[in-house]
Structure 1
């Protein structure tokens, strides 16, 4: 069985390696396929342009894990809506009907909930262009496979951190981190758990739901995370004050539906995850 990963960047590569470890053939579409490890068959492809490569006829699973080139509305639309549409058109062009197609979305579709809880049943109502465009892509996916044997799955990931994703660590270490003077909840997931969730949903025996929230078990107040990192790094007490507009809004995302499928997190909270990242970077305080 062949798994196609369209947009085989950091997250897609980690997922691809996990698919390959379970004896799947993995084809990765990427602008620079030479950067992919040998376990993944790299194929040059640019989802922002027409003329995508042929899709292997035995493809049973497709993962669309794209990223915008810049934080602009045009770049988001080109990546998430237009890119997904080109992949779906390529499936029709080549008459390939996979069992499952998963689109990596974001909890940004929910916008701000004033610190309240959200889950898959919560109406997506983002006030920003990023959430609105991602929601449009989600609807495109589900509309494409409605009434067919192919299952379209949306995985709404929280903030991904991990190897090479060290924004908060860099802020604390560099002295620019500010503890918000008002409580602000954040939701995150380690890169490895995000990749494992993709593989789990694409290979589980029971039929997946249409949408899942992909975050760890502990929606954390940002100040708590920053103080933890400061302690781990041996940084003096952080200043408190206005911290600007929250990234992704102030909300607590529930992963209960994902966990109900039997998925288990390697890093159930930011503490385990960031300790693993710090150990890998060699900058953790003794």
Structure 2
């Protein structure tokens, strides 16, 4: 796969949320045109943060005609629908992009596609075993995109990402409410990544990721969900959340939270480090939280 770092002149970001904005900021130079997709017609034509916004709704195929994908690097960050086991939004995008193929697509997926591994280390050769519909939708998107990339001869890079944290991405409201967490002795293993390191991984995947390749994105030191909540509380000067047993959790925690708690795995990030050459600024949770300003988090 050729290196795009020196020749890239067009970037198209689908899913222009927090991650999209952070990635867009990596391309602030006069030689690169960055475009973002918005589903709000009134925002089309605006240029927030030097990004050109174009209208298109992934739930309305007719609105996607003429997307600026031809010859562009595409970052696909849009989530699947909230229900079902497939991602029709990805299918709609791929149909539109077939008429104007990009030079590469980088897709953010989830480590949830691996399912529960009883705390074992998992690398990218592991067969996916999604256990929730949320993860099944992501795997469906991965498979659609990879098949399309082979057919269209467009390089596709998949990032399977652990839990994302960082400034503005901490469970502050939950901690303030004093909501319970699972007793740490009953917690499974989980992996995470600081948002700045995720952005670096996105850029590296675009510039030197191998075609039709999957990369786990996580830091070097997995932990537990409860350990994460307690560390964040300590950093922000908030009380540690109360801990309850799994039996109690099944009646008090949300279905989404329980799905995270009942799966246990540790992500192997060797490809991220060795193939993509990503140097983690925050190789563990302690270093990542150390740079977060508690005062700023308190007013978000």
Q: Which residue of 2 aligns with 1:233?
A: 236
Does structure 1 residue 173 correspond to structure 2 residue 176? yes
Q: Which moved more, 1:229-238 or 1:151-160?
A: 229-238
8 A contact 1:15–1:195 mirrored in 2: yes
Note the aligned Cα RMSD (angstroms).
Answer: 2.6
Give 1:237 shift: 5.1
Does structure 1 residue 251 correspond to structure 2 residue 265? yes
Give 1:258 shift: 0.8
Q: TM-score, normalised by structure 1?
A: 0.85
Q: Which residue of 2 aligns with 1:5?
A: 13
- DSSP-derived class of the 1:146 partner: helix
Q: Which residue of 2 aligns with 1:25?
A: 33
Give 1:23 shift: 4.1
For each residue in 1:190-248, what CA deviation from the matched residue of structure 2 results, as whole angstroms up to 9, or x when unmatched?
222222211111123x6356111111222112332233223223344543322533417
Q: Which residue of 2 aligns with 1:265?
A: 280
Count of residues in correspondence between the two structures: 274
Q: Which residue of 2 aligns with 1:85?
A: 91
Q: TM-score, normalised by structure 2?
A: 0.81
- The 3 A distance-change label for structure 1 pair 162 and 30 is farther
- The 3 A distance-change label for structure 1 pair 22 and 273 is farther
- The 3 A distance-change label for structure 1 pair 274 and 30 is farther
Stretches of structure 1 lacking an aligned partner (at least 5 in a row): none
How do 1:206-217 and structure 2 match up within 5 A?
Answer: 207-208=210-211, 210-217=213-220
Give 1:15 shift: 0.9
CA distance in 2, matches of 1:209, 1:258: 15
8 A contact 1:19–1:199 mirrored in 2: no
2:139 corresponds, among 135, 151, 160, to 135
8 A contact 1:201–1:208 mirrored in 2: no
- The 3 A distance-change label for structure 1 pair 145 and 160 is same
- The 3 A distance-change label for structure 1 pair 277 and 246 is farther
- The 3 A distance-change label for structure 1 pair 239 and 18 is same
For each residue in 1:77-99, what CA deviation from the matched residue of structure 2 results, as whole angstroms up to 9, or x when unmatched?
4xxx2111122111222xx2322
Q: Which residue of 2 aligns with 1:106?
A: 110
Give 1:183 shift: 3.2
- DSSP-derived class of the 2:13 partner: strand
Q: Which residue of 2 aligns with 1:185?
A: 189
- DSSP-derived class of the 1:266 partner: coil
